[in-house]
Structure 1
Amino acid sequence: MNLPAESPAEFAVTIAPPTSYEHREAFREVAETVHIALLRLGFDSVLSDDLGLPGRRHIVFGSNTLSWWNLEVPADAVLFNLEQISADSQWVTAELLSLFRRHTVWDYSLRNIAALRELGVPDVQHVPIGYVPELERIPAAAERDIDVLLIGSLNERRMAPIEELRRLGLDAQAHFGVYGPARDALYARAKIVLNTHFYDAKIFEIVRVSYLLANGVFVVSEHCADTEEADRYAGAVVFTDYTDIVPTCLDYLADAERRTARAEAGRTLMRGRPATDFLAPAVAGLPVVRS
């Protein structure tokens, strides 16, 4: 690719430290996707835990946690927001909004972007979650022996369908704080991975689901507030009302062929959304910082 003359050429895709904070791994797959896409576009990129690499434009994941550790980011850093922006979110603090106003912000969700602009954060670029082939890496399990699997922060709302499925005699599992190969091994064993909201009426959790779709994992998801985004993935994900989660799971557990067909549709959909298509215009639009 011929790079625009004014484009920054060296990047550090950075997951905010400290490395002792295990939940930073929730950003890993998207950070890897951005890093690999930058390399494919011809940029010099490193995947890093260091916020102070000289001579590189940092693209920072986990900026919502920076204040916990009293960490500063470089003045030219790009902040890639993966949190849902809403009035009841624990992440939407005056401190975070002030940080966003001082930096270029990338966000995967148009709904988030509209909310941020209402909160006085004007410089937000839409960068959807895309695909790179390197993230097709969940190995097929010899047997899918978990009926329904949920991985994420747990509360009563998320646990209720899992507990009902257990009462019906199914192997329904919920896990929190599991990342990397250990989490992927669970995904590989699941007939259904369940995506439900922590609170009511939230945006589609494509940050989590995109990785599942790219790896041919079958997903049942609760309906979401951003119907346009849900429509985009309707052929790949089974969407249902919260009150219908259990019967929907039972329906698809009884039909392996339908699960397989939908999972393959998800993989095909993600392959048609290369991350390079989204990163190229975002990088081209970055303000040039001259030394």
Structure 2
Amino acid sequence: MNTPYNICIVQPPGYIHSLAFAELAELLMYSIREAGHPAQIQTNQFVQGGVNVIVGAHLLDVSALRAVPEGTVILNTEQLTGVGENWREKLTGWFQSGLEVWDYSPANIEVIKALGVENVRYLPIGYQKELQRIDITVEQDIDVLFYGSVNERRREIFNAIEAKGLNLKVLMGVYGKDRDQWIARSKVVLNHHYYESQIFEIVRVSYLLTNAKAVVAEVNPETVIDDRFRKGVVDVPYAGLVDAVCDLVEDTTKRKAQQRRALNSIIKYPQVDFTRPLLEYTH
């Protein structure tokens, strides 16, 4: 019998931001199924008799380790070079617990290995047909969309975009279908770093590429980004973000071409090809 997988999203009481893990969890679930294994997503629930994959371990105290079934995997979601001290401490405890760790960022994997953790594997992010679900035919009445946490670094760009007269929508704490409706209505989606640390936000951006959205992304000389994703976005340094956004909003032909480029950059990399090799170690 093929080993079943249970993807466990950690969601503390009242913490809406765990919904940000949904697309990553779905990407994993659908690709595991495609590889021939039963897979499901649950919130705060482990199962016996299968492999549990924890998404959001930084939200869980390490004392919870005693309740974790043997053979559990941690799927890290956090940028380790920029994460706050409290979360980093928790994650270090989990990483050093002896459980297998999966991570989509080679830069993160370097940090984890520096902690003396050998049991860490690379899970590249690819294309999953079930996640191609945003309606790209609706009227686009929003020029620029940003979703995520806001700090001064990000706000400076928002102010400059609005000063150009563009219609900017900023979402915080909006996930799932509600957020997808805003994505559908937007001509351009903006992606720029929260931290000065420079790991490209691949989980967020891969969902947009899968849905053929035009993305302007902050990519500085030191940004860690896979070449295949660089091809799918308009990549500019922080200082060039505003001009790049304006250019794409105003030029429909260029924007449509960018949308095609976005999908083409990811569709040739089926997620199952990345997920299947990791399953060989866990069942």
Pairwise TM-score range, normalised by the shorter structure:
over 0.9
Q: What is the CA–CA distance in structure 1 between the aligned matches of 2:193 and 2:85, rounded to whole Å?
A: 15
After TM superposition, the structure 1 = structure 2 runs for residues 97-176 of structure 1, keeping only pairs within 5 Å, are 97-102=92-97, 103-176=99-172
* Shift in CA distance, 180/221, structure 1 to aligned 2, threshold 3 Å: same
Distance (whole Å) between structure 2 residues aligned to residue 236 and residue 258 of structure 1? 13
Give 1:70 shift.
5.3
Helix, strand or coil at the partner of 2:157: helix
- Give me the whole-angstrom Cα distance separating, in 1, the residues matched to 2:69 and 2:221: 35
Distance 1:88 1:101 in 2: 17
- Given the alignment of the two structures, is residue 52 of structure 1 paired with residue 49 of structure 2, yes or no? no
Match of 1:211 among 207, 211, 217: 207
Pairing 1:64–2:55 present? no
SS at the partner of 1:233?
helix
Instruction: Give, in whole Å, the separation in 2 of the partners of 1:237 and 1:91.
Output: 33
SS at match of 2:61: helix
Is 1:28 matched with 2:22? Answer: yes
In structure 1, give the amino acid aligned to 2:234.
V
Q: Distance in 1 between matches of 2:230 and 2:115?
A: 31
The aligned residue for residue 32 of structure 2 is 38
Please tell me whether residue 10 in structure 1 is matched to residue 4 in structure 2. yes
Aligned length: 281
> TM-score of the superposition, structure 2-length normalised?
0.92
| Aligned-partner Cα distance in 2 for 1:69–1:101 | 13
- Percent identity over paired residues: 35
Contact 1:222 1:240 in 2 (8 A): yes
Aligned-pair RMSD on alpha carbons?
2.1
Would you say 1:180 and 2:176 are equivalent positions?
Answer: yes
Is 1:239 equivalent to 2:235 in the alignment? yes
Taking structure 1 as the reference length, the TM-score comes to: 0.90
CA 10–106 in structure 1, closer or farther in 2 if over 3 Å, else same = same
Whichever residue aligns with residue 77 of structure 1, its letter is T
1:84 to 59, 68, 79: 79
Moved more, 222-231 or 145-154: 222-231
Amino acid paired to 1:140: I
Contact 1:150 1:173 in 2 (8 A): yes
CA distance in 2: counterparts of 1:183 and 1:285, whole angstroms:
35
Secondary structure of the 1:219 match is strand
Asked whether the 8 Å contact 2:17–2:173 carries over to 1, the reply is: yes
> C-alpha displacement at 1:142, in angstroms?
2.6
SS at match of 1:149: strand
* CA deviations over 1:191-245 (Å, ceiling 9, x no partner): 1100000012411100100000000111000014665624222221001111111
Q: After superposition, what is the alpha-carbon deviation per residue over 1:78-131, rounded to whole angstroms, capped at 9, x for unaligned?
A: 000011011653465333212112210000011110111112222110001122
Structure 2 unpaired stretches of 5+: none
Distance 2:198 2:118 in 1: 22
CA distance in 2, matches of 1:219, 1:73: 39
Q: Is the 8 A contact 1:41 1:280 kept in 2?
A: yes
- In the alignment, which residue of structure 2 is the partner of 1:221? 217
3-state SS of paired residue (2:225): helix
Separation in 2, partners of 1:203, 1:111: 7
Give me the whole-angstrom Cα distance separating, in 2, the residues matched to 1:258 and 1:277.
32
Structure 2: distance between partners of 1:97 and 1:152? 25
Counterpart secondary structure, 2:32: helix
| CA separation of 1:74 and 1:185: change in aligned 2, threshold 3 A | same
